[in-house]
Amino acid sequence: MAMDKVRYAGDPVAAVLAVDEPTADEALRFVDVEYEDLSAVTTIEEAIAPGAPLVHEQWSGQAELRGSSYGAPEKFKGTNICSYFGYSRGDVGEGFRKSDYVFEDTFRFPKVQHCSLEPHVMVAHFEEDHLTVWSACQDPFGLRDQLAAIFNLPLSHVRVIVPYVGGGYGGKLYVKAEPIAAALSWKAHRPVKLVMAVSESFKTVTRHPARVRIKSGLLADGRLLARECEIYMNTGAYADAGPRVNQKAGYRTLGPYRIPEVKVDAYCVYTNTVPAGAFRGFGAVQVAWAYESHTDLLAERLGMDPLEFRLKNLLKKGEPYTPGDTPVDCDLKEGLLKVAKALDWKREPSKPNTGKGLSLCMKDAGGTFKIAGATVKMASDGSVVLLTGTVEIGQGSRTALSQVVAEELSLDLNQISVAQLDTDVTPYDVSTSASSSMTVMGLAVQRAAQDVKKQLLGAASKVLDKKFAALTLKDGKVHSRGGKAVPYGKIITGYFGSKAGEIIGRGLYRDVKTKRAALGSTTTFWEVGWGGAEVEVDRETGAIHLHKYVSVADVGKAINPVQCEGQDEGGVVFGLGHTLFEQMVYEDGQLLNPNLVDYRVPTFRDLPKEFSSALIENQNGPGPFGSKGMGEGGLLPVASAIADAISKAVGIRFYDLPITPEKVWRALREKARR
């Protein structure tokens, strides 16, 4: 735990082990810790100031995370910058010189929490030199690897089991408190359960606060020529996934636009606050808020319609986002026009203090480097068990992946079950993250099912004495030309000679690294979200009434349309949270609102009066049947669409989130005073 130095209020210092909770509470009174006050840095500005107190005195330089190296150049030694990402193409200085106009804006994003319904929870049991951990986590194999390293055990001696998880959103990726429970079990020779209170989860992991500066050069007709981006991500007291989030934020800050000359500098900064890590959107949310708000301002300054400005600069399908990466795989114009039509964009609002805004955002998806395996086992009665490392965290993966198996093997869904995730028996999967389950794991599952299909038809060929090519699968039976349909179970028992044995199919997905791509490997697919909002602002109170919100998602092929709509709508609600309500508030280094009373999340009362979600299905994805991952794209456009609608309603532009009634009220009073 914290050794010699506590780096933030919430850093674990000591653990108390007891047979029940009341005894543990009693024992806490006997824990005595002496603290010496140290100078703290809690904001980006404080952390990067010359001579700022160091959160970590020891310089780490470079570190490895899942096959990639992250870090900062030697020149940042002795600072709080733990990671740097840079990208450029062309000559941005020359681009600005050729521009008719150059504009610059800075935007800020707050520190927010995942607020999963289930807080962090785990059970650990050391038996001699074998460790078993039950954890509500999103990356059981990564957790297994870390625990094995911490306790100096072979991977085969560490077992991680994951039951259903009550929400994750990235907050249950990477190691959290599992080593503490494991160490206590090793000490006590008994199973140990560790359940965090909501306030403790608040002090475990958050989303990165950010400061994003964007400078753009344009021609008089509105075409973008050059862009310079400077990003600072506040990763808190420990890096967690911060360097990786910082890299993704830097890469995604260019947005869905054609910009010949670009330069990006992204910095990940330590502060004395709760560590920030993976969170739905993974760096894209912060920069999407910035670049789409900046886009609206550019259109406004040029006197152009925001829709027309975007259409003029959008990348086309097949164009490269950056050289060496996967080309844009969808029609960005199609979704934008759908949103505009649903908003009746050209019609002026009929009520005063009412405005409309729209936005579109894209992110590389599927992970930087993904490996996924799946196993499909067909029993002697023809029913199937699917073994997959994808964690069910509410996104509906068990159902959707089972549907892929059912489609490939022509079975009813009720004939398929999904085994509990257990690293001792489940094939390897890097993690459940990056909107990758339907594409990455979906392909592994599809290939495993196809392997079963091939073996089943081979067995049927021998049992029925028919040529392989003459056989097909339909409705749980093997059909042959001119012959009777035979149930799978009879084929299997006939092949093995009794009601015994099983057919086992295996599937694998593996990303390929390439030096041609800016991030070391190409994106599996592009996740795109379009959004539009209509709001009314109460000038007396500053209250924002969201009358309408339209969301459009590119899903390739909706394996389960109801689940897809639910994921998209859920993403929008997440976006409403950090746009209008959520912010972790610090004072003198202390977190003031680590609970669900003082920390405000959206409720059903905050939903828009009209709320629609549309799915674009062009079968343009690399996943099974043309599917793509989704679920993060929906929250990316929310903040900028609402902010622009507010600007249209009352003529005030906000650069910092959340946009609360108090901020609106004060801005309206200041505008009236001026």
Q: What is the pLDDT of residues 63-99, one digit of tens each?
A: 777 667 788 899 999 999 999 999 999 999 999 999 9
Instruction: State residue 417's pLDDT score.
Output: 97
Instruction: State residue 64's pLDDT score.
Output: 75
For 519, counting Cβ atoms within 10 Å of its Cβ (0-12 exposed, 13-18 middle, 19+ buried), the class is buried
For 126, counting Cβ atoms within 10 Å of its Cβ (0-12 exposed, 13-18 middle, 19+ buried), the class is buried
Q: Please tell me the distance from the alpha carbon of residue 207 to that of residue 112, in angstroms, as a whole number.
A: 5
Q: Please tell me the distance from the alpha carbon of residue 669 to that of residue 674, in angstroms, as a whole number.
A: 9
What are the structure tokens assigned to 343, written together?
Answer: 């908003």
User: What CATH number is given for 329-366+525-673 in this structure?
Assistant: 3.30.365.10
The structure tokens 């703290």 sit at 40
Average pLDDT over residues 501-509: 96
Neighbours of 396 (CB within 10 A): 20
Q: Please tell me the distance from the alpha carbon of residue 113 to that of residue 595, in angstroms, as a whole number.
A: 10
Cα–Cα separations (whole angstroms), residue 648 to 160, 353, 356: 52, 8, 7
Question: Domain limits of the chain?
Answer: 1-38, 44-113+206-270, 115-202, 329-366+525-673, 371-510
Q: Please give the DSSP secondary-structure letter assigned to residue 546.
A: E
Is 85 in a helix, a strand, or coil? strand
Of 211, 218, 235, the residue nearest 289 (C-alpha) = 211
Three-class secondary structure assignment of 21-43: HHHHHHHHCCCCCCCCCCCCCCC
Instruction: State residue 67's pLDDT score.
Output: 67
Q: What is the pLDDT of residues 51-61, one digit of tens each?
A: 999 999 988 77
Parallel, antiparallel, or unpaired: how do β-strands 486-487 and 471-474 relate? unpaired
Q: Which residues of 582-596 are buried (b: 16+ CB within 10 A; e: fewer)?
A: bbbebeebebebbee
Q: What is the pLDDT of residues 90-144, one digit of tens each?
A: 999 999 999 999 999 999 999 999 999 999 999 999 999 999 999 999 999 999 9
Q: Do domains 44-113+206-270 and 371-510 have the same CATH topology?
A: yes
CATH classification number, 44-113+206-270, choose in 3.30.365.10, 3.40.50.300, 3.40.640.10, 2.60.40.10: 3.30.365.10
Q: What is the pLDDT of residues 311-321, one digit of tens each?
A: 999 999 999 99
Instruction: State residue 63's pLDDT score.
Output: 77
Instruction: State residue 3's pLDDT score.
Output: 85
| Cα radius of gyration rounded to whole Å, the chain | 27
* Whether domain 115-202 has CATH 3.30.365.10: yes
Instruction: State residue 367's pLDDT score.
Output: 66
Q: For residue 190, how many C-alpha atoms fall within 13 Å in the half-sphere facing its CB?
A: 7
Q: Please tell me the distance from the alpha carbon of residue 432 to that of residue 390, in angstroms, as a whole number.
A: 6
Dihedral (C-alpha) 164, 167, 173, 177: value to the nearest 10 degrees? -80
For 373, counting Cβ atoms within 10 Å of its Cβ (0-12 exposed, 13-18 middle, 19+ buried), the class is buried
Give the H or E element holding residue 434.
Answer: none
Q: Which residues of 6-17 are buried (b: 16+ CB within 10 A; e: fewer)?
A: bbbbbbeeebeb
Three-class secondary structure assignment of 631-642: CCHHHCCHHHHH
Instruction: Assess contact for 284 and 247: CB atoms under 8 A.
Output: no
Instruction: Assess contact for 191 and 125: CB atoms under 8 A.
Output: yes
Cα–Cα separations (whole angstroms), residue 211 to 106, 263, 641: 7, 16, 19
Q: Please tell me the distance from the alpha carbon of residue 37 to that of residue 44, in angstroms, as a whole number.
A: 21
Average pLDDT over residues 283-308: 98
Sheet of 503-510: strand order equals 416-418, 384-388, 371-378, 503-510
Q: Please tell me the distance from the alpha carbon of residue 444 to that of residue 390, in angstroms, as a whole number.
A: 11
Residues of the chain above pLDDT 90, percent: 91
Instruction: State residue 368's pLDDT score.
Output: 65
Is 336 in a helix, a strand, or coil? helix
**Neighbouring residues of 57: CB distance < 8 A, sequence distance ≥ 6:** none
Q: What is the pLDDT of residues 582-607, one digit of tens each?
A: 999 999 999 999 999 999 999 999 99
Average pLDDT over residues 261-266: 98
Q: CATH second-level architecture of 371-510?
A: 2-Layer Sandwich (3.30)
Instruction: State residue 453's pLDDT score.
Output: 98
Instruction: Assess contact for 158 and 181: CB atoms under 8 A.
Output: no
Mean residue pLDDT of the chain comes to: 95
Instruction: State residue 482's pLDDT score.
Output: 78
Dihedral (C-alpha) 214, 219, 223, 227: value to the nearest 10 degrees? -20
Q: For residue 145, how many C-alpha atoms fall within 13 Å in the half-sphere facing its CB?
A: 10
Average pLDDT over residues 185-214: 97
CA terminus-to-terminus distance, the chain? 53
**Neighbouring residues of 381: CB distance < 8 A, sequence distance ≥ 6:** 488, 489, 492, 499
Residues of the chain above pLDDT 70, percent: 99
pTM listed for this prediction: 0.96
Instruction: State residue 513's pLDDT score.
Output: 81
**Residues 430, 434, 436, 438: is their CA dihedral positive or negative?**
positive
